Structure formats: structure tokens, C-alpha cells
């Protein structure tokens, strides 16, 4: 069944090539297609394009179909092109001519737009909640390990003292900021395209504000032309948000891989989170964090791929756009999996205490010594030169006890990490 079929035979090779795996991806959109159809049927009845009896019949059958989808999933018949056609086929089988009226004032273009908007809004909100959970987990770990010191590096050179509290809290704050990017993508998906038809509107008296309220969209796409152009644009913003969050997670995973190596020796991982070698019996490889890093890095390319599809398209609908759908849906699933795995493995990271006892870190506290001179009235540049001379002469910079717990330290330092402030920010979301 094809909604555009005019009775002309279709070349099998052409059909197989152009459809791709569209039908498989459409199954994920089924509940949202039905939700959009319920709102559309209610609106058609409200404006008098169908009778009240037809409205009730359509919404009742659609409600039953929605319950079935949520309980048992959805199947697109082999002879049906997409989810929209399957829903209309079911309604026509059950209601006859009344079922055929569901497409009044609609095109598959605005149908897939509303499906994707509803799907992306829901899935991005779910990812946002999971990102928030990881940020809270990192804050818990920051609090747990805030007094265990960790060497900080710049240019891969020993720099200044840090702590595991500051390390975990830094990634927590990164994820909190990433939630703002997710909010941007959610906002882009929270706009109603229904009623824009094939991208040029319709002269039927559709009430687009009614469907906007019914579907709980924040606003309506005013022009039908831009509603159509939002196809791909919305997915690209979603891809950018996912990539931003994945970038943070990937960087955290890279730190773990480094810190678990013998060259650093900052953390240990339980045997259950490591793999071995087929030839080297001593190996404990941090594969799970390497795979996290790789999966996160792979997600960075998605927005570029979507941009490449959109790059030379004029306004209006083009079949090219279907090849965005089969990228963004798996990407959402991928990042959801990444966050679930991170929630599982991050609490099993075990920081090592006493790292800074290693003589290689003897100059890590040189800035603290400079600060002591400054507190006693010496100009900073003179203090800097004096400490540099002391280091040149072989002096060892001992670790001041105040570094671990110093209420006078600037916010965001190892003595004053700011975990409480970050918890306030999370609670405000």
C-alpha cells in the first residue's frame, strides 16, 4: 500500500534502493504517528471537516492502536511503505471510508515532521535526565574523594596540585553545561509543524493552534515553508547536543585510560572491568573506557554527516532527507547506552591515595610557596623569581596542609571545590 500509488507498476530495484531501511526506523516512530493523528482527528472534527461521529470513531480506534503499540509494539506489513501508510491502512480496514479521512489536510511530509519532533523531544528529554543523573553521580564521587590529592598537568608536564574531588566535579559541571545544549535541541523539537502539509500549507481551515496545544508544543511553525526546512535542521541540532555531551564523556574516559596506566598509576580498576591479553599474562586493559571513548568520538561525526546531506538542498522536501532519520535514531540509542554504562562503571573507579609522595612531584607546590610570600606582602613577580631560584638550587616544595581543606581558597580550587554550588545548579534544572 502506497499513499501515492496511481496504479502504475514500480520498478523493484528502484523501490528497494529508495526505501532503504526506512520501514525499520519507522517502527520507532509509530506511537508518535498515532499521537499526532489523534490530535489531527480532533482538530478536523473541531473545524467541521469531519463529523463528530467520525471524529469519535477515529480517535477511539487510534487510542486502541496506541495502547496496542505500547503493549505489543508495531508491525509494518511487507506490502506497506511506511508507518503513515500502515496507520491509515489499519484505520481504513476498521472504519472504511471514515478511516480514509484521516489524511485530510495532511501530507506525509508534515506527518513525518511531527513524528520526528515528538520523538526527538521525548528522547532528548530522556537523555537530559540521564545526563543529569551522571552529573549527580560525579558530584557524589567528588564529595567522596575530595581530600585525595591528584597531580595536575599542563602540556603533559607536572603543573599544580589537584584532587579527585576537583576532577570529578569538573566533569559534573561540564555535563551540567551540556544540559543547556540539550535544552537548545529540545526547544528546536518543541515546535508544531502539523498543518504545513507538503511544505506549502493548505487552503482547508485547519486550526494549527489547536493541534499545538493538543500535542503540548511550545509554539507553531508559522510558515509552512520553514516547517519543511526544519526537517534535518532539528535533527542536526539534536546531533550537536548529543555530540557535545559525548565529547565530555569521551574526555572523561580518556582520563581514566591514562590514569589507570602504570605510567600514571592514579587509579585502579576492578578485575571485572578489565580484559587480558592472549600473549601477555600480566595485562589488565581498560577496554570498557576505551570503547566508551571510541563510541563518543564516533558520535562527533553525526552533525557533520547531517550537514553534508542538507548542504546542497534547496527549500522544499527532497527524498535525501530520509537518510537523516536512519542516523539520528541509532545515535540516540547509542548515547543512551553510553550513559547507562557510565553510570555502572564510574563508581567502580578507585582513586589511589598518597600519589604526591612520589619524589617526581616535589615541585608541584611551587605556586603555593609563591602565594605564601605574596600573603606576607612580597610583590608577586619578586616571589615568583625567588621560588624559581630556590628550585634551581634544589629546594623541595612541601605540601601545605591547608591545600586539602581551605575555606579561604578561591572557589573551584582543591580547598574549595564548590560541590554545594554545583548541586544548587543541578537542582535548578
Q: pLDDT tens across 272-305, in order? A: 998 887 898 888 899 999 999 999 999 999 999 9
The pLDDT tens digits of the residues spanning 414-424 come to 889 999 999 99
pLDDT at 404 over 80: no
Scan for cell 499526532, then name that residue. Answer: 36
Query: Using CA atoms, how far apart are residues 164 and 86, in angstroms rounded to an integer?
Result: 54
Judgement on whether residues 29 and 97 belong to the same structural domain of the protein: yes
Would the CA dihedral through 419, 425, 428, 429 be positive or negative?
negative
Say if 77 falls within a structural domain. yes
Q: Are residues 63 and 116 in the same domain?
A: no
User: The domain spanning residue 72 has which CATH number?
Assistant: 1.10.275.10
Q: What distance, in Å, lies between the first and last C-alpha atoms of the chain? A: 46
Q: How many domains does the chain have?
A: 2
Residues 40 and 123 in one domain: no
* pLDDT one-digit tens code per residue, 194-248: 999 999 999 999 999 999 999 999 999 999 999 999 999 999 999 999 999 999 9
pLDDT range class, residue 147, cuts 50, 70, 90: very high
- Domain C-terminal end among 76, 104, 132: 104
Task: Verify that 140 and 72 share a domain, yes or no.
Answer: no
pLDDT tens-place string over residues 154-165: 999 999 999 999
Nearest to 80 by CA among 132, 26, 123, 128: 26
Q: For the chain, give the mean pLDDT.
A: 93
Mean pLDDT of the region 168-187: 98
Picking from 52, 86, 104, the residue at the C-terminal end of a domain is: 104
Do 81 and 197 sit in the same domain of this protein? no
The predicted model scores a pTM of: 0.92
* Residue 35 in this model has a pLDDT that exceeds 90: yes
- What's the pLDDT at 48? 98
Instruction: Report whether 68 contacts 3 (CB < 8 A).
Output: no
| CB-CB contact of 320 with 313 (8 Å) | yes
Q: How far is CA 333 from CA 130, 239, 253, 298, 326, in A?
A: 12, 12, 19, 13, 12
In percent, the amount of the chain with pLDDT more than 70 equals 93
Domain termination residue (choose one: 104, 120, 151): 104
Q: Given this model, what pLDDT does residue 203 score? A: 96
Residues 325 and 308 in one domain: yes
Q: Residue 44 belongs to what domain range?
A: 12-104
Both 291 and 323 in one domain: the answer is: yes
In a shared domain, residues 96 and 131: no
Confidence of residue 79 (pLDDT cuts 50, 70, 90): confident
Main-chain dihedrals φ then ψ at residue 47, nearest 5 degrees: -95, 0
Amino acid at each position: 500500500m502506497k499513499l501515492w500509488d496511481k496504479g502504475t507498476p514500480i520498478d523493484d530495484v528502484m523501490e528497494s534502493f529508495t526505501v532503504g531501511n526506512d520501514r525499520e526506523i519507522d517502527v520507532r516512530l509509530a506511537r508518535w504517528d498515532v499521537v499526532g493523528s489523534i490530535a489531527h482527528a480532533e482538530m478536523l472534527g473541531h473545524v467541521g471537516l469531519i463529523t463528530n461521529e467520525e471524529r469519535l470513531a477515529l480517535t477511539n480506534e487510534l487510542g486502541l492502536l496506541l495502547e496496542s503499540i505500547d503493549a505489543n509494539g508495531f508491525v509494518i506489513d511487507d506490502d506497506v511503505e511506511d508507518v503513515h501508510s500502515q496507520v491509515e491502512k489499519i484505520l481504513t480496514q476498521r472504519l472504511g471510508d471514515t478511516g480514509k479521512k484521516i489524511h485530510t489536510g495532511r501530507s506525509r511530509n508534515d506527518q513525518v515532521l511531527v513524528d520526528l519532533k515528538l520523538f526527538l523531544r521525548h528522547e532528548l528529554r530522556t537523555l537530559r535526565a540521564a545526563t543529569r543523573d551522571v552529573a549527580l553521580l560525579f558530584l557524589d564521587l567528588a564529595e567522596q574523594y575530595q581530600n585525595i590529592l591528584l597531580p595536575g598537568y599542563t602540556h603533559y608536564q607536572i603543573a599544580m596540585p589537584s584532587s579527585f574531588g576537583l576532577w570529578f566535579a569538573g566533569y559534573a559541571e561540564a555535563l551540567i553545561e551540556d544540559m543547556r545544549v540539550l535544552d537548545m535541541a529540545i526547544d528546536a523539537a518543541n515546535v508544531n509543524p502539523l498543518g504545513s502539509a507538503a511544505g506549502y500549507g493548505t487552503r482547508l481551515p485547519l486550526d494549527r493552534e489547536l493541534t499545538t496545544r493538543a500535542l503540548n508544543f511550545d509554539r507553531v511553525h508559522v510558515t509552512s515553508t520553514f516547517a519543511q526546512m526544519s526537517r534535518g535542521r532539528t535533527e542536526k541540532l539534536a546531533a550537536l547536543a548529543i555530540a557535545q555531551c559525548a565529547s565530555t564523556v569521551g574526555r572523561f574516559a580518556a582520563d581514566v585510560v591514562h590514569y589507570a596506566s602504570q605510567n600514571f598509576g592514579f587509579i585502579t580498576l576492578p578485575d571485572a572491568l578489565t580484559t587480558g591479553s592472549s600473549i601477555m599474562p600480566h595485562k589488565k586493559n581498560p577496554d570498557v573506557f576505551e570503547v566508551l571513548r571510541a563510541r563518543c568520538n564516533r558520535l562527533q561525526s553525526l552533525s557533520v554527516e547531517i550537514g553534508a546531506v542538507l548542504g546542497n538542498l534547496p527549500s522544499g522536501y527532497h527524498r535525501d532527507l530520509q537518510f537523516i532519520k536512519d542516523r539520528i535514531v541509532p545515535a540516540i540509542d547509542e548515547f543512551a547506552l553510553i550513559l547507562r554504562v557510565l553510570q555502572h562503571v564510574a563508581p567502580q573507579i578507585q582513586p589511589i591515595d598518597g600519589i604526591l609522595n612520589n619524589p617526581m612531584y616535589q615541585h608541584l607546590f611551587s605556586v603555593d610557596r609563591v602565594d605564601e610570600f605574596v600573603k606576607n606582602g612580597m610583590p608577586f613577580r619578586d616571589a615568583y623569581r625567588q621560588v624559581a631560584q630556590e628550585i634551581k638550587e634544589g629546594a623541595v616544595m612541601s605540601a601545605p596542609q591547608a591545600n586539602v581543606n581551605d575555606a579561604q581558597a578561591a572557589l573551584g580550587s582543591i580547598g574549595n571545590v564548590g560541590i554545594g554550588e554545583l548541586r544548587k545548579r543541578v537542582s535548578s534544572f
